[in-house]
Amino acid sequence: MKKITLALSVLCLFLMPSCKKYLDIKPKGIQIPEFYDDYVKLLNHKTMMVADNPYVVYLTDDILLGDLSVPFGRYDQAQENQKNLYSFASGAIFSDGADDYLWQSAYKRIYTFNVVINNVLNVPDGSPKERETLAAEAKVGRAFEYLILVNTYALDYNAQSATTDLGVPLVLSEDINKVYKRNTIQEVYDQILKDLNEALPHLSATTPHRFKPSKQVGNAFMAKMYLYMGDYENARIFAEKALLDNNQLTDMTKYSIKTTSTGIGFGRIYNAVTEDVYPEAKDNVESIYARYGDGFIGLSRNVYASEDLLETYKHNLPTGAIDQRRALFFADNSFKLNNQTYSFLGKSMWVPYVLFNSGFNTSELFLIAAEGY
């Protein structure tokens, strides 16, 4: 036995240099992040700039599905998971083997955020400040994903039961072979808060575009997190902090529906004076942290607005006034698509054709502050 052990030891000594040399060879066609700019590119990839999936709205009172008498928004044409949500079916929402794109996409992005957080501070280039800022941006991104996940797949936050209510798995490393369990809702919120507190001191006051988090984003994030937790005082405090940096709202009175040509698609909502289309998330003055819904068109032509939703646009309006959101974003009774008109009498459909922001907006901050008061 001793001879075998000795022989193996000698063999290992000979093999170690060649093994190291083999491991140093980079696979062709694959870029392994080594330098600061490599990690910048990871966060700048287009897949990192999307947020949610619209199928969760099928669980709300905001939508209505039609029958065979309408061309769009029919229950029989909905996907299985949409039908299950809409009908409050018992059992699993997704069949075995079906893709849950919200869950899968969120954890893919979390994996990339983890790669940046756990490695960028050790790269040989980039200033310490640059590396800290990039890690902070990734922590905000990871926290954002977990705020969406825990509020989609778990119970609402309840201070009395959050330490025992199950949330979602906390994945904080790149180890895909580790067995993960569902953490409690409190543990998920604690991690969100930890990421934000660690990130805030290193975020810049301004950023080159709205997809990168600034200090204002950190404050807006805190406001929304505390709102979800039912801590209205802190929600108000952080909302007002964020509004100090940007309190602009889009002047929707300047926009109208284009009635010329087909009147559909991007450009359907436009400014008649400047000819500008309604601003998407990256250009909208309301956007603080821009994230595109990864299926923004998923509700257009697939659902109708419920009476409950439409009624909300009538509340507290002066006599003769209209809510511009109602006027611009919905089509009543019919809709024109590719020069063909489709009728759905008595129904209203959400068809804005605008890349809205699923991140943080000033309009939301005003509502959070008001809720706090």
Let me know: does 215 contact 203? Beta carbons within 8 Å.
Answer: yes
Please report the pLDDT score of residue 266 as a whole number. Answer: 72
CA–CA distance, 282 with 287 (Å, rounded to integer): 7
Please report the pLDDT score of residue 265 as a whole number. Answer: 65
Please report the pLDDT score of residue 15 as a whole number. Answer: 46
Tens digits of pLDDT across the chain (373 residues):
444 444 444 444 444 444 444 444 555 545 678 899 999 999 999 999 988 777 888 989 999 999 988 988 999 999 999 999 999 999 999 999 999 989 999 999 999 999 999 999 999 999 999 999 999 999 999 999 999 999 999 999 999 999 999 999 999 999 888 999 999 999 999 999 999 999 999 998 888 889 999 988 999 999 999 999 999 999 999 999 999 999 999 999 999 988 765 555 677 899 989 989 999 889 999 999 999 875 555 678 889 999 999 999 998 899 989 999 999 999 999 988 777 888 999 999 988 888 888 999 999 999 999 999 9
Let me know: does 44 contact 209? Beta carbons within 8 Å.
Answer: no
Place of tokens 């330098």: 35
Which three-class secondary structure state does DSSP give residue 361?
strand
The amino acid occupying position 42 is L
Partners of residue 76 on adjacent β-strands: none
Let me know: does 288 contact 217? Beta carbons within 8 Å.
Answer: yes
Q: Give how far Cα 302 sits from Cα of 32, 74, 173, 312, 356, Å.
A: 41, 7, 38, 21, 17
Sequence-distant (≥ 6) Cβ neighbours of residue 245 within 8 angstroms: 205, 214, 215, 216, 219
Please report the pLDDT score of residue 262 as a whole number. Answer: 52
> Where does the chain show beta strands of DSSP type E?
63-64, 255-257, 269-271, 287-289, 304-305, 330-337, 340-350, 360-361
Let me know: does 187 contact 264? Beta carbons within 8 Å.
Answer: no
Helix, strand and coil in the chain, % to nearest 5: 45, 10, 40
